[in-house]
Amino acid sequence: MINTIRGIVEIEQAELDRTTQNLLRQKEETDKTRNDNLQKAIAILGFGLGAAQIGVSTAPYVIPQQQPPTPIQLPFTTSQPHPFVSSVLLSLIFGIAGAFVGWGLSSLLQAIATHKKN
pLDDT, tens digit, 9 for 90 and up, residues 72-97: 777 777 777 777 888 888 889 999 99
Residue-number span of the structural domain to which 104 is assigned: 30-69+77-118
The answer to whether the CB of 46 falls within 8 A of the CB of 102 is yes
Number of domains in the chain: 1
Is 11 part of any domain?
A: no
Is 64 part of any domain?
A: yes
pLDDT at 66 (0 to 100)? 67
Is 10 part of any domain?
A: no
pLDDT bracket for residue 15 (50, 70, 90): very high
Is 86 part of any domain?
A: yes
**Number of neighbouring beta carbons within 10 Å of residue 106:** 19
pLDDT at 81 (0 to 100)? 76
User: Could you please report the per-residue DSSP string of 63-83?
Assistant: SPPPSSPPPP--TTSSSS--H
Predicted structure pTM score: 0.64
Is 6 part of any domain?
A: no
Is 18 part of any domain?
A: no
pLDDT, tens digit, 9 for 90 and up, residues 22-75: 999 999 999 999 998 898 899 899 989 999 988 888 888 877 776 777 677 777
